[in-house]
Amino acid sequence: MFWYNGKSINSQTIELDINNPGLLYGATIFSTLRVYDSLDNPLTQWQAHLARIKTSLNYFNWQQPNWESIRDGAELMKQHFPVLRITVFPDGKEWITGRMLAPDLPEKQKHGITASIVQDYYRSLPGHKTGNYLAPILAKADAQNQNSQEAIFIDGEGNWLETTTGNLWGWKDNCWWTPPINAGILPGIAREYLRTSLIKQNQIVREDVWNIELVKSFKTLANSNCVVEIIPIHTVIHCTGQLTYNTEHSSLKLLQNFFHL
């Protein structure tokens, strides 16, 4: 089932005009959220997800959707799915789909994953979450061919940016580090939640370019997004070898605990 343009639809297919720019070019804005009991639970970050969509719609000068309909659709869909994807087309029509959490998520959260550095792939309009997701799909497929579960994008100088699904965190010198927004990454909602939560606890968050010297010095490494929360990365495969990180470092508990209010 899904929600489209103010209606609940029980089907595996959606009807779109053949000239719909979302169908032709991936011209949509979306945000994926995890519902913690209710849309208004602070961990769900409902207002932050709406703000992300509104910001992009205003930036592209697209039509505003019926926000009440989006709320109604999300309220309905959350009764069936813990993860919702809210998509808005250029004409303002909303489309809400749902899915379950991955069954291996607890294992990944505990034991971590392997990631691969991928070259020659760049996310389209990285400051916005658009439906043009071909680069992340291809990058993740390349990583999986290297027996990795995730891929890490780099810029032209080889600096690490983000994964195909979230933002990066590294620990060294008694503080957390994360790539800066102006490096050309998505301003992740989980990233901002973690950053502000750390600062409220008088923790230092360093936002700096992730060059090879810096990433080699991290004690632990993690990926964050609103669905998976925090997943440690124990191994990163790159062109000249691999880097390993401690997935049992005590600093990881600090990040993970922010998702257990």
The secondary structure of the chain in percent helix, strand, coil, rounded to multiples of 5, reads: 30, 30, 40
Between CA 246 and CA 232 the distance in angstroms is: 8
Is 152 in contact with 161 (CB distance < 8 Å)? Answer: yes
DSSP H helices in the chain:
21-25, 46-60, 67-77, 105-111, 134-145, 189-200, 212-217, 251-257
> What is the mean pLDDT of the segment spanning 89-95?
98
For 212-244, the DSSP string reads HHHHHH-SEEEEEETTTEEEEEEEEEETTEEEE
CATH architecture of 2-99: 2-Layer Sandwich (3.30)
At 240 the pLDDT is 84
Q: Which two tokens stand for residue 194?
A: 């973690």
* Terminal Cα-to-Cα distance of the chain (whole angstroms): 31
Amino acid symbol at 103: P
pLDDT tier for residue 234 given thresholds of 50, 70 and 90: very high
**134/132 Cα distance (integer angstroms):** 6
Distance between CA atoms of 73 and 94, rounded to whole angstroms?
9
Q: Are 84 and 31 in contact (CB under 8 A)?
A: no
Q: Return the CATH class of domain 105-257.
A: alpha beta
Tokens 């250029």 label which residue? 90
The residue whose two tokens read 């409902």 is 46
Q: Where are the domains of the chain?
A: 2-99, 105-257
The predicted model gives 241-250 an average pLDDT of: 96
Q: What is the pLDDT of residues 9-32, one digit of tens each?
A: 999 999 999 999 999 999 999 999
Give pTM, 2 decimals: 0.96
- The pLDDT assigned to 261 comes to 78
3 state DSSP class of 154: strand
CA distance 46 to 32: 10
Residue 236 contacts residue 113 (beta carbons within 8 Å): no
Please give the pLDDT value at position 239.
85
